[in-house]
């Protein structure tokens, strides 16, 4: 039996929410404040929205960007800090599919290292930030 990606993601979220919070790792002085946030802290992270599946497969965005998000696969936020770190966004990916490759500012709760549950998202249009979520 095959499970749709969106259903599998929802099951993972529910299963993950039933575990105890992780302990925060010791701070890395070379990392930015958002990447040092403890689990359940609220942070704001700025970067570009990406199709996380394309990123993980090392496929050029021009060949892949949006194809997997449209099918329900996860969206990521690639930051400029460190070695181009990526935050996985726990949300309905199709809701922001039109904003892939766009600069974005996401505020949310840290679920685990590199995983963010957004409660506010803004995208940059020229010099202004527009709320999309």
60-74, 92-106, 117-131, range with the lowest pLDDT: 60-74
The whole-angstrom separation of Cα 95 and Cα 132 is: 9
Query: Do the Cβ atoms of 104 and 122 come closer than 8 Å?
Result: yes
User: What integer pLDDT is reported at residue 30 of this predicted model?
Assistant: 42
Residue 33 near residue 43, CB atoms below 8 Å: yes
Ranking 29-43, 56-70, 86-100, 106-120 by mean pLDDT, the lowest is 29-43
Confidence of residue 13 (pLDDT cuts 50, 70, 90): low
- Say if pTM beats, i.e. exceeds, 0.85: no
Q: What structural domains and CATH numbers belong to the chain? A: 5-17+33-131 (2.40.50)
Please tell me which residue, 107 or 23, carries the higher pLDDT value.
107
Q: How far is Cα 97 from Cα 104, in angstroms, rounded to an integer?
A: 12
How high is the pLDDT of residue 89? Answer: 94
Confidence of residue 45 (pLDDT cuts 50, 70, 90): very high
């Amino acid at each position: 039996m095959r499970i749709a990606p969106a259903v599998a993601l929802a099951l993972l979220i529910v299963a993950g929410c039933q575990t105890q919070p992780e302990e925060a790792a010791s701070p890395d002085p070379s990392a930015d404040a958002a990447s040092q946030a403890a689990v359940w802290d609220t942070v704001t992270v700025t970067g570009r929205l990406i199709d996380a599946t394309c990123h993980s497969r090392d496929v050029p965005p021009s060949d892949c960007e949006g194809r997997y998000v449209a099918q329900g696969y996860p969206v990521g936020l690639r930051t400029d800090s460190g070695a181009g770190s990526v935050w996985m966004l726990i949300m309905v990916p199709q809701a922001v599919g039109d904003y892939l490759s766009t600069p974005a500012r996401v505020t949310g709760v840290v679920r685990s290292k590199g995983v963010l549950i957004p409660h506010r998202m803004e995208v940059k249009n020229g010099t202004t930030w527009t709320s999309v979520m």
